[in-house]
């Protein structure tokens, strides 16, 4: 149970708004200490995990490209594009992204993400749609739209990825059930994730459509 102290460090660190990188590093060292590992062995374990993760290299390659595109005016182009589509609203745009995010994750295609899609494209487009329909946005409304954009990405990824049979979460669930003597095939877990994904889409989709009404009420 002592190894769970690392979770407490993460919770407290984010609660007091410390630097996320330092919080994660501190949590790793606390967990290593609780598990009987020294500082050197903890660093070695972190390095090994970093080296073996096939997903880590993707953000490292994508983020510099996104930064260059933003510097070249990617966000502004996205705003201009959405501003020309009069039928586009914030809720509709995010609803389409939610569907695309869930669908691609269900097939094991991680096309999206906070840094890769939400910040440079989705959030600016959602704000532009609101400005085109409802006029200028104050700081609070802009923050609300950005929060909904980030939440849409999270909901789509979280509830879509479990449909993909080879995702880490499915393997983790199967491993935990196997330890408890419950034999379940990964395909069965994936199939049972489909109703949950559909409900998540309907619930969050309704929230997005209600967001349009909320933004329209500002007039």
Residue 210: the pLDDT is: 94
pLDDT at 60: 52
Q: How many CA atoms lie within 13 A of 214 on its CB side?
A: 15
- How far apart CA 48 and CA 31 sit, in angstroms, is 16
What pTM value is reported for the model?
Answer: 0.66
What's the token pair of residue 115?
Answer: 């840094």
Domain boundaries, the chain: 2-52, 57-216
pLDDT for 6: 83
Task: Return phi, psi of residue 135, to 5°.
Answer: 90, -170
CB contact set of 32 (below 8 Å; sequence gap of 6+): 38, 39, 41, 42, 45
CB distance 219 to 135 below 8 Å: yes
The stretches in the chain having pLDDT less than 70 are 1, 3, 48-75, 77-81, 83-85, 218-219
Taking a C-beta distance cutoff of 8 angstroms, is the pair 89, 216 a contact? no
Question: Hey, CA dihedral for 117, 120, 124, 125, is it positive or negative?
Answer: negative
Q: How far is CA 39 from the centre of its chain?
A: 31
For residue 77, give every residue at least 6 positions away whose Cβ sits within 8 Å of its Cβ, in sequence order, or none. Answer: none
Note the pLDDT tens digit of each residue in 140-170. Answer: 999 999 999 999 999 999 999 888 877 777 7
Nearest-10 crossing angle of helices 186-216, 139-161: 160
């Amino acid at each position: 149970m002592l190894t769970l102290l690392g979770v407490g460090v993460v919770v407290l660190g984010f609660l007091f708004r410390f630097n996320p990188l330092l919080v994660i590093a501190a949590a790793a060292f606390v967990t290593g200490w609780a598990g009987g590992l020294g500082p050197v062995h903890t660093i070695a374990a972190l390095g090994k995990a970093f080296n073996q993760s096939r997903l880590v290299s993707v953000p490292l390659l994508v983020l510099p490209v996104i930064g260059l595109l933003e510097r070249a005016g990617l966000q502004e182009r996205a705003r201009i594009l959405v501003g020309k589509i009069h039928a586009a609203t914030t809720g509709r745009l995010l609803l389409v992204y939610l569907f695309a995010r869930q669908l691609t994750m269900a097939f094991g295609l991680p096309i999206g993400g906070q840094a890769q899609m939400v910040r440079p494209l989705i959030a600016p487009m959602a704000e532009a749609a609101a400005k085109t329909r409802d006029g200028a946005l104050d700081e609070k409304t802009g923050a609300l739209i950005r929060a909904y954009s980030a939440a849409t990405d999270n909901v789509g990824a979280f509830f879509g990825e479990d449909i993909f049979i080879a995702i880490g979460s499915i393997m983790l669930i199967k491993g935990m059930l196997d330890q408890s003597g419950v034999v379940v095939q990964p395909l069965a877990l994936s199939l049972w994730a489909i109703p949950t994904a559909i409900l998540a889409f309907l619930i969050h989709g309704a929230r997005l459509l209600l967001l349009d009404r909320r933004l329209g009420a500002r007039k």
